[in-house]
């Protein structure tokens, strides 16, 4: 079986083509693997998601192509379809151009970015992933926020300069003279993508003809990763949609705070400070309330179990349990919740040191509680709880 003729190497702008079905085999999950004598569908490889689209047979029946893969050993491109296609028939292929062109924008933008990182800092691109929602690049060294902003601006200047993108298969003699980036050792035909002044890299993917078609590159994420950094970018329409979404968030905040865009940060900081102050005052009030509540409990009681509303947070519950444990010798516990759903609990053992294992077993076996702890304190949650039944069982311990 001959290799599939890869039309995307002749031109990344071939959107439609006619081809003959060489084979059609049943695959997984009710899908079929269709091999054509030639194709413009770029298969998943090199960290990039595959093309999608459709194949239409001579009767006019359309088959969705949901994925495209290539066998490196056979050189056959397999089109994953939703139904079988008769072997030997001629089909009309149609690429989902919006999807393809978006990938072209992202990938060419990544080349410029990685080329600048390599030339300026000497870092290698050790990881690349281009999906329908994100583009990530992993570099072998650390880049700061300031570095990223400078690189981002330089990339966009290269885009605005509308530089020609050259994709070619140089012969072996010429290839030996080219200094190009590559993540692995390559042999045989090697495709080189050159963006003059910015990058020379081995790459199999479709690219735009000129950098101006990228439109815009925006860095949307930066994090330390495996001794280097991971950078997230968006290009073209994806970048525009991202900027629009951020702008919509700002507009919504402007309306909420009834202020101007330039004062949004100050308004949010003010609200955050007020929220922190309110939380502090609430915590102080809760501490005072807890103090009053504890004074009302008979100090001669050995075991003390309290039922409180869900407004009691973990810190308040823990403080109450710790205070109870100082003056009561047995089990000291708090169950916080409303009605019958979603109770939280914290239980400690008092000064005489009763074992908590019996309570943990009771809660787990009879009330399906989740939790754990140590010899002095346990905590967890119960989804459904009959409080009166619980108190009755605890009294029997």
> Could you write out the DSSP letters of every residue in 165-214?
-EEE---HHHHTT---B-SS---SS--EEEETTTEEEE--S---SBGGGG
Mean pLDDT for the chain?
Answer: 92
Distances (CA, A) of 103 to 58, 108, 133, 176, 196: 30, 8, 10, 29, 21
Query: Does the structure show a pLDDT above 80 at 187?
Result: no
Its pTM stands at 0.75
Return the pLDDT at 71: 79
DSSP 97-127: HHHHHHHHHHHHHHHHHHHHHHHHH---EEE
Same domain, residue pair 335 and 346: yes
In this structure, what DSSP letter does residue 12 have? T
CATH number, position 204: 3.30.980.10
pLDDT tens per residue, range 339-386: 888 899 999 988 787 888 888 889 999 999 999 999 889 999 999 888
- Residue corresponding to tokens 């045989």: 188
Mean pLDDT, residues 152-171: 97
How far does Cα 152 stand from its chain's mean position?
22
In a domain, 250, yes or no: no
Cβ count within 10 A of residue 47:
19
Same domain, residue pair 272 and 236: no
Same domain, residue pair 137 and 198: yes
CATH number, position 44: 2.40.30.130
Return the pLDDT at 72: 66
Same domain, residue pair 200 and 213: yes
Residue 289's pLDDT band, with cuts at 50, 70 and 90, is confident
Same domain, residue pair 191 and 110: yes
Same domain, residue pair 111 and 240: yes
Domain final position from 43, 68, 95: 95
Query: Does the structure show a pLDDT above 70 at 212?
Result: yes
In a domain, 252, yes or no: no
Query: Does the structure show a pLDDT above 80 at 74?
Result: no
Beta pairing partners, 65: 53, 81
Q: Are residues 105 and 235 in contact, defined by beta-carbon separation less than 8 angstroms?
A: yes
- Residue corresponding to tokens 């019958």: 340
Same domain, residue pair 238 and 124: yes
- Please state, in angstroms and rounded to a whole number, the distance separating the CA atoms of residues 148 and 116: 11
Domain final position from 63, 95, 127: 95
In a domain, 137, yes or no: yes
Query: Does the structure show a pLDDT above 70 at 333?
Result: yes
Same domain, residue pair 108 and 66: no
pLDDT tens per residue, range 344-354: 999 998 878 78
Same domain, residue pair 137 and 225: yes
More confidently predicted of 183 and 20: 20
CATH number, position 382: 3.10.310.40
Residue 96's pLDDT band, with cuts at 50, 70 and 90, is very high
- Please state, in angstroms and rounded to a whole number, the distance separating the CA atoms of residues 37 and 22: 6
Instruction: Residue 356: give the domain boundaries.
Output: 297-395
Domain final position from 245, 270, 305: 245
Same domain, residue pair 379 and 320: yes
The three-state (H, E, C) secondary structure of 50-82, written as one string: CCCEEEECCCCCEEEEEEEEECCCCCCEEEEEC
Residue 2's pLDDT band, with cuts at 50, 70 and 90, is low
Same domain, residue pair 317 and 307: yes
How many domains in the chain? 4
In a domain, 253, yes or no: no
Pair type for strands 217-225 and 16-26:
unpaired
- Please state, in angstroms and rounded to a whole number, the distance separating the CA atoms of residues 170 and 194: 12
Same domain, residue pair 141 and 79: no
In a domain, 380, yes or no: yes
In a domain, 341, yes or no: yes
In a domain, 335, yes or no: yes
Query: Does the structure show a pLDDT above 60 at 1?
Result: no
Helix (H, G, I), strand (E, B) or coil at 380: strand
Return the pLDDT at 73: 67
Mean pLDDT, residues 163-185: 90
Q: Are residues 37 and 71 in contact, defined by beta-carbon separation less than 8 angstroms?
A: no
- Please state, in angstroms and rounded to a whole number, the distance separating the CA atoms of residues 379 and 314: 10
């Amino acid at each position: 079986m001959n290799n599939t003729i890869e039309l995307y190497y002749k031109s990344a702008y071939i959107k439609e083509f006619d081809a003959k079905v060489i084979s059609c085999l049943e695959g997984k999950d009710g899908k079929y693997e269709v091999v054509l004598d030639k194709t413009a569908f770029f298969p998943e490889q090199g960290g990039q998601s595959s093309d999608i689209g459709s194949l239409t047979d001579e009767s006019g029946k359309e088959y969705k192509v949901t994925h495209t893969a290539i066998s490196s050993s056979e050189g056959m491109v397999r089109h994953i379809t939703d139904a079988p296609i008769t072997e030997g028939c001629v089909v009309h292929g149609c690429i989902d151009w919006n999807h393809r062109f978006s990938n072209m924008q992202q990938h060419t933008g990544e080349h410029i970015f990685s080329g600048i990182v390599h030339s300026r800092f000497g870092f290698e691109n050790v990881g690349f992933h281009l999906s329908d929602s994100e583009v990530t690049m992993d570099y072998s060294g650390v880049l700061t926020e300031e570095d990223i902003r400078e690189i981002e601006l330089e990339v966009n200047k290269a885009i605005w300069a509308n530089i020609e993108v050259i994709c070619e298969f140089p012969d072996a003699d010429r290839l030996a003279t080219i200094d190009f980036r590559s993540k692995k050792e390559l042999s045989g035909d090697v495709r080189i993508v050159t963006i003059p002044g910015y990058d020379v890299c081995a790459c199999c993917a479709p690219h735009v003809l000129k950098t101006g078609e990228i439109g815009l590159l925006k860095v949307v994420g930066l994090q330390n990763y495996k001794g280097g950094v991971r950078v997230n970018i968006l290009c073209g329409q994806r970048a525009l949609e991202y900027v629009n979404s951020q702008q919509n968030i700002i507009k919504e905040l402007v309306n909420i705070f009834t202020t101007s865009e330039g004062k949004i940060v100050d308004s949010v900081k003010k609200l955050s400070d007020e929220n922190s102050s309110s939380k502090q005052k609430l915590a102080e009030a809760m501490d005072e309330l807890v103090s009053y509540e504890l004074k009302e409990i008979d100090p001669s009681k050995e075991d003390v179990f309290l039922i409180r509303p869900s407004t009691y947070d973990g810190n308040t519950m823990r403080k109450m349990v710790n205070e109870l444990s100082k003056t009561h010798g047995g089990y000291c516990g708090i169950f916080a919740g409303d009605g019958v759903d979603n109770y939280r609990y914290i239980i400690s053992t008092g000064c005489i040191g009763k074992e908590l294992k019996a309570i943990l077993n009771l809660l787990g076996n009879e009330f399906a509680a989740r939790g754990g702890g140590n010899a002095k304190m346990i905590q967890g949650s119960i989804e459904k709880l009959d409080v009166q039944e619980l108190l009755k069982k605890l009294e029997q311990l």
